[in-house]
Amino acid sequence: MKRNEFIKASSLGLLGATLPIQYMGKQEVILGHNNKRYKINTRWSQADAARYPVNNCHEMVQDKKGRILLLTDETRNNVLIYDKNGKILDSWGTEYPGAHGFTLFHENGEDMLFICDNNRHQVIKTTIDGRVLMTLDYPKESGVYAKAEEYVPTETAIAPNGDIYVADGYGKDYVIQYNYKGEYIRHFGGKGDTPAHLSNAHGICVDLRDKVNPCLVVTSRLQNAFKRYDLAGKYLETIDLKGAWVCRPVIKGEYLYAAVLQSNNSTGAQSGFVTILDKNNKVVSNLAGSMPQYQGNQIEEMYQTIKAFQYPHDVLIDDEECMYVAQWNSGKTYPIKLEPVI
Give the mean model confidence (pLDDT) for residues 134-145.
98
Instruction: Sort 235 into a burial class: Cβ within 10 Å, 0-12 / 13-18 / 19+.
Output: middle
Query: ∠ at Cα 139 (134, 145), nearest 5°?
Result: 150
Dist CA 313 CA 60 (whole Å) = 10
Three-state secondary-structure class, residue 154? coil
Residue 15 pLDDT > 60 = no
For residue 38, the cross-strand partners are: 31, 340
Q: How confident is the model at residue 60 (pLDDT cuts 50, 70, 90)?
A: very high
Give the mean model confidence (pLDDT) for residues 305-314.
97
pLDDT, one tens digit per residue, over 66-117 is 999 999 999 999 999 999 999 999 999 999 999 999 999 999 999 999 999 9
Q: Please give the share of the chain, as a percent, with pLDDT higher than 70.
A: 92
pLDDT, one tens digit per residue, over 258-305 is 999 999 999 999 999 999 999 999 999 999 999 999 999 999 999 999
For residue 316, the cross-strand partners are: 324
pTM of the model: 0.93
pLDDT averaged over the chain?
A: 93
Residue 20 pLDDT > 70 = no
Dist CA 334 CA 342 (whole Å) = 26
Q: How confident is the model at residue 206 (pLDDT cuts 50, 70, 90)?
A: very high
For residue 116, the cross-strand partners are: 101, 123
Task: Report the amino acid identity of residue 210.
Answer: D
Query: ∠ at Cα 271 (267, 272), nearest 5°?
Result: 115
For residue 246, the cross-strand partners are: 260
Residue 11 pLDDT > 80 = no
Is the Cα dihedral 30, 36, 42, 44 positive or negative? positive
Residue 25 pLDDT > 60 = no
Query: ∠ at Cα 219 (33, 166), nearest 5°?
Result: 135
Report the pLDDT value the prediction gives residue 237, as an integer from 0 to 100.
98
**CA dihedral angle for residue 148, residue 150, residue 312, residue 199, rounded to 10 degrees:** -150
Report the pLDDT value the prediction gives residue 18, as an integer from 0 to 100.
40
Residue 215 pLDDT > 80 = yes
Other CB atoms within a 10 A radius of the CB of residue 237 amount to: 13
Report the pLDDT value the prediction gives residue 9, as an integer from 0 to 100.
39
Instruction: Rank 17-21, 24-28, 150-154 by mean pLDDT and report only the highest.
Output: 150-154
Give the mean model confidence (pLDDT) for residues 33-54.
95
Residue 218 pLDDT > 90 = yes
**Terminal C-alpha separation, the chain:** 14
